[in-house]
Amino acid sequence: MDSPIILIGPMSAGKSTIGELLAQKLNLPQHSLDEKRWDYYAEIGYDTTVAAAIANSDQGKPGLIRYWKPFEAHAVERMLADYSEGIIDFGAGHSVYEDEQLFARVQQALAPYDHIILLLPSPDLDESVAILNARFVQMLKDEGVEEVDTTLLAVNEQFVRHPSNHRLATMVIYTKDKTPEESCAEIIQKLGVKGIGL
């Protein structure tokens, strides 16, 4: 690949899972922004005390997510500077920005890249919200969470409906009724990668 494959999309869209499969099939490294973001956030003064105070205030998790935004934009810029090849999967919030200046920074950082793939279950956004939030709830239950914070579901709905992802993506892959392996194969086929045994 002459350019990294960058996967974006809301929570539970399959970015990490499909990213891992792509990395295996294409014999490329996988880089997950969620695994590296805290180091990048710290570079520009992320304050865990401030973050905790916001999360525990009336602003709650939506306020915390707003606090994250400048740090997320910085993390995208740093990630793309550090990793010029392989599969890069973004955290859900790293490609959604209300602030046009932050969006412009991320758009500029991504401008040189040809393979920015948005993963969604369906072109029907209502259906995508329902599928992704059902997956997210099940994931939390599997992890032992008894009561799901509904504000997280509202945040994920915003991630689905917000135009940022579509504005950044060079390709959209719809995953409903497909296994991760099938979605991986579709990406490889659409990118025109030759000589890959699937």
Tell me: the pLDDT tens digits for 27-76? Answer: 999 999 999 999 999 999 999 999 999 999 999 988 999 999 999 999 99
| Partners of 89 in the β-ladder | 7, 32
pTM of the model: 0.93
**Average pLDDT, rounded, for the chain:** 94
- DSSP three-state, residue 28: coil
Rounded to the nearest angstrom, the gap between the alpha carbon of residue 15 and the centroid of all alpha carbons in its chain is 6
- Please say if the pLDDT value at position 97 is more than 80: yes
d(CA 55, CA 69) in angstroms, rounded, equals 14
The pLDDT of residue 148 is: 84
| Partners of 116 in the β-ladder | 6
- Please say if the pLDDT value at position 198 is more than 50: no
| Partners of 177 in the β-ladder | none
- Residue located via tokens 């960058």: 6
Tell me: the pLDDT tens digits for 106-133? Answer: 999 999 999 999 999 999 999 999 999 9
The pLDDT of residue 1 is: 61
Q: What's the pLDDT band for 151 if we cut at 50, 70, 90?
A: confident
The topology under which CATH files domain 5-35+86-190 is Rossmann fold (3.40.50)
Pair type for strands 30-32 and 5-8: unpaired
Q: What's the pLDDT band for 147 if we cut at 50, 70, 90?
A: confident
For the chain, give every domain's residue range: 5-35+86-190
